[in-house]
Amino acid sequence: MSSTIECLVLPPEGNCSEDFGTAAALGSLEFHKNVPGYEPTKLSDLKALSKKLGVENFWIKDESSRFGLNAFKVLGGSFCLFKVICELLGLDSNKHSFKDLQTPEVAQSIAKMTFITATDGNHGRGIAWSAKKLGAKCVVLMPKGSSSERLENIQKLGAEAWITDVNYDATVAMAADMAEKNGWTLVQDTSWDGYEEIPTYIMQGYLTMAKEAQEQLGEEVPTHVFLQAGVGSMAGAVASFLKSAYGDRAPEIVVVEPFSADCIYKTAAADDGELKVVEGDLKTIMAGLACGKPCTLGWKELRACASAYLRIQESVAATGVRVLSSPLEDDPRILAGESGAAPIGAVIALLADPKLSEIKSKLQLNESSKILCFLTEGVTDRKSFLEIVWEGKFPSEI
């Protein structure tokens, strides 16, 4: 491979959906404020790293503390299960809260419900946590090669969970088939024709972290936001919100994926109105991004809001993990999983590697840049983390 990062610049085209605008974000945030254990996650300004890299600001929104689950995915899972359960019970979700569904009066009805999903780990853990809190049954399927640590974390929450012998997209299809055969509800964080309402709820749930970030930034406005993408649901929702929230001052949205699972990049490169699928095992340390087929809703928002697409080598994500774990001066130490660190590693590589200066120029990264990244997960696979940090696996090429 000739470069650690490849870049495609594609001007936005189309309109962002109001489904992921400021009103939706406020609704999501107000909902989560009523979920037991809610606290806004920290937004850190890595001042020393910013100075080292030659930019004005480098903000990290650290989702590793979200509801004690080490990842942002529970935001989508909790919001989605709440909306779906309200619909199944004939309740107005606008007049009820998460706490209302935890009362004895509705517990008997919820106990009869079963939710099923496919996941690399974080989404399934969020669904399992939400189902346990609400008293519903939960089944979670994980693709071949998934971490045993992630599986055990899901099982500890009471879900029936196992690892399949097929890749992520085939595991999603397996979950959908089981849902249909058993009369269960599929709660998947990707969409396809005919399956869009539940993914919309999940994407709206993700907006809480974006709205929090906006409030924490105050009058500051990022010039660039780097968003990691698996199927593209989180990236699409957050990109759409940022465009809605900031209007003409909206930041440049840069999408980041692994080389081995670059379905968004390939779809953008073709730009022919068709989603592109990546086949095979999709092997990457960025397990949360190991997805071969874009989310229809996510891609629609990205096409309307994003301006550049990156695909990165494993060493780029590993660099992000190492740099965050060994901070400069007074910068906070952040323990990151590989998927969470992917956009951060991309920013570091672009600003520090002279071989990537052409891409840096294309993205207009300079001393005035104010960069925001979302650390979507903490350390969810300690074995992999230690291999990177202690053993130097996937060494930096900067």
Judge whether residue 1 has pLDDT over 80.
no
Q: Which of 61, 62, 120, 169 is catalytic?
A: 120
Mean pLDDT value across residues 304-317: 98
Q: Which of 61, 62, 73, 133 is catalytic?
A: 73
152-180, pLDDT tens digit by residue? 999 999 999 999 999 999 999 999 999 99
CA distances from 63 to 44, 71, 228, 254, 383 (A): 11, 5, 13, 19, 20
Residue 2 confidence class, pLDDT cut points 50, 70, 90: low
Closest of 108, 114, 290, 124 to residue 202, by C-alpha:
124
Whole-prediction pTM value? 0.96
Looking at residue 105, what is its pLDDT? Answer: 87
Cα separation, 320 vs 339, in Å, equals 10
Judge whether residue 336 has pLDDT over 50.
yes
Judge whether residue 194 has pLDDT over 60.
yes
* Terminal-to-terminal C-alpha distance of the chain: 15
Bridge partners of 226, per DSSP, are 254, 373
Looking at residue 370, what is its pLDDT? Answer: 98
pLDDT above 90 covers what percent of the chain? 97
64-97, pLDDT tens digit by residue? 999 999 999 999 999 999 999 999 999 999 999 9
Residue 120 is among the residues annotated as catalytic for this protein: yes
Mean pLDDT value across residues 228-232: 98
Please report the DSSP string for 24-75 in residue order. Answer: HHHHHHHHHHTSTT--PPPEEE-HHHHHHHT-SEEEEEEGGGGGGTTBTTHH
